[in-house]
Copies of this chain bind each other. A is one copy, B any other.
């Protein structure tokens, strides 16, 4: 746990330069626009510890799988988002000395990430070995208005000398992934071009043959006056740049504006890439830095209008929640249904930038409420488009007849993960994908999604579950053997309650969805079912399983058992674990973790969270009280679900306690792993803790409901959400709740089970006293 980020409502601030914190800060100050993302690597040379990271969404490399012992069914490769050409680089030489913060004496170092505008600013003063002192101010953003464009303004001022300044802005494609399995480099160069102040390089990935063209144009200013200097072209292996040499006097500020475009063959024909990149460079160069900055600021302002959460009385919490929202929008904008959300977004290499069930279970609710409907719909369509691969994936494991098993980790729909206990057994992910369809329709009311896309996916998933269970003649029930639940501290268990529940729910929902589509359009329904070779008997099979499924339960205590045999474990509690033995995933051997009762993240409770309407409060409380004391929360996805459930159980103090564990996870480097990248998907969980937890927001019967409380640590909090065409601003204070309708459409909302009509552009205020 670190604590070096300065509290501020809208800015993330680091003051002073500590090389030991640099990789953490590179993660925290990352920029992105959904299409490209950059860690906060320095522009100038840095020979200290750094994790270079420049990522282009959707451009991946199938790195040959590395295992100790091969098991049948393992995927041949792990697709990973590539570290792409470094476009931020600017080598700075003063006379013959290279500016390098690892060797210079650095003072007045400050980084500010302005979240409201999506801009990163870095200032410092560096004294070189020669005694020369320079002041630098670097501003950078990844344009969210034009997501192929990155912009840098790099200003340098000699403070105590005059001399020769050499600036070499460059694009360097000779990069590699630090997590490369076999230490290979993944890029080949296809073409390069340097013309005056422009430089272009076109690189191609090995195997997948994606092409990315990166171009840049450079402008130079002295004290805001444009300079016309003919640069010298620099061309190396997979590297293009220009050298600008100039004589500067003390106190003269030289500013280099580098406008960059990154275009990928995912969006253009390969043979037009260079041409298109040139035209983007031409267009943006003609706009110039100030216009681009204005576009950026405005675009982010719009996003904030739709999604901001305001917390009064706690600057640190305010900063944290905005940081989470900001990073989520930097990662995914929903414009492209081929893209998704890696657990680390564009802020590191870990998890390969690939898609996990995190998207459906945690991110979809966030985007549903804070972004236009198309954004979450595109997350769903991503899976729809990968249905064929999910069917192939299931076939590799011996399933047939259109059964679909979505992968645990994927880029293009193929499974990438290679631990059998997760890859093959953590199949509850399939249920989360179905649940996201349900959740999307519940929130948006867009039932047409079912006939267009959803039903086909639901049938594939239901077919999988049907084949995955088997009849136990011993139990006279259907059972599901050999699974891993969300609690990955158990492997290969039988009858994981959550997975069994999700499986039958999927079959039930697929049946309902088929009815809905049948009612919408009998022709469409008939044609779809025919194309899927669907036999009506399948409904009967599902119904039989729904009826006769086995759910492990301790009937005496009313506890749903995480899996068969859970009660055979030594029933010790987390509070009895010595601090020196935690986190157990670092201190204990794997077998010890497995046979312990300790739970990594919500498992039975994840089911009670998803399907809370099916259980009375006492049942939820009993299970919460049983499982939470056994939960070590060693997944960043754990506390948020517990926070929401605690809120539901009116345990406001614990709801807030769980919230705190997630809110500043990365800003405070809680788990000592922020240097690898940010926990992007768990940031959505933090948002959920506030909106679903503290505000108790739900959608029931097509209406929004709230069941709010105010954490005692705060004065008030408010959030903006979109719901079925209206934007509501919800404010919770110690007195009660205020809901303002920003549109001219009437809505009905429930507050603590009481319904209120809320007219267009009106607001309602309900005092606590009025609520029982």
What residues of chain A have their CB less than 8 Å away from a CB belonging to chain B?
A: 65-69, 71-73, 396-398, 418-421, 424-425, 470-475, 479, 481-482, 491-494, 564-565, 567-571, 585-595
Contact = CB atoms under 8 A, between A and B. Distances in A.
B67 A591 contact: no
Contact of A492 (B71, B475, B492): B492
A397 B492 contact: no
Contacts of A65: 68
Contacts of A470: 568-570, 595
A570 B470 CA distance: 6
Given A491-B492, A591-B425, A565 B481 contact: yes
Contacts of A71: 589-590
B474 A424 contact: no
A632 to B, nearest CB: 14
User: Which residue, A398, A587, A589, has most C-beta atoms of chain B within 10 A?
Assistant: A589
A473 B594 contact: no
Contacts of A72: 585-590, 593
A421 B482 CA distance: 13
A346 B419 CA distance: 32
Given A473-B567, A491-B492, A565-B564, A73 B481 contact: no
A420 B565 contact: no
Nearest to A561: B474
User: Which residue, A68, A73, A473, A474, has most C-beta atoms of chain B within 10 A?
Assistant: A68
A467 to B, nearest CB: 11
User: Which residue, A69, A567, A587, has most C-beta atoms of chain B within 10 A?
Assistant: A69
Given A567-B474, A568-B472, A570-B470, A590 B420 contact: yes
A473 to B, nearest CB: 7
B475 A568 contact: yes
Contacts of A492: 421, 491-493, 594
A482 B398 contact: no
A419 B68 contact: yes
A569 B481 contact: yes
Given A72-B586, A471-B570, A482-B595, 16 more contacts: A65-B68, A68-B68, A68-B418, A72-B590, A73-B589, A73-B591, A73-B592, A397-B591, A398-B592, A424-B591, A472-B567, A472-B568, A472-B569, A473-B567, A481-B565, A481-B595
Contacts of A69: 418-419
Nearest to A72: B589
A421 B421 CA distance: 10
A62 to B, nearest CB: 15
A729 B396 CA distance: 55
A575 B565 CA distance: 31
Contact of A589 (B424, B479, B570, B594): B424
Closest CB pairs A-B (n = 7) = A73-B589, A424-B591, A482-B595, A474-B567, A67-B68, A472-B568, A71-B590
Contact of A568 (B418, B425, B481): B481
Nearest to A480: B595
26 contacts: A66-B66, A67-B68, A69-B418, A71-B590, A72-B585, A72-B587, A72-B590, A72-B593, A73-B589, A398-B589, A420-B590, A421-B421, A421-B491, A421-B492, A424-B589, A425-B591, A470-B595, A472-B568, A475-B568, A481-B568, A482-B591, A491-B491, A492-B492, A494-B565, A564-B565, A565-B565
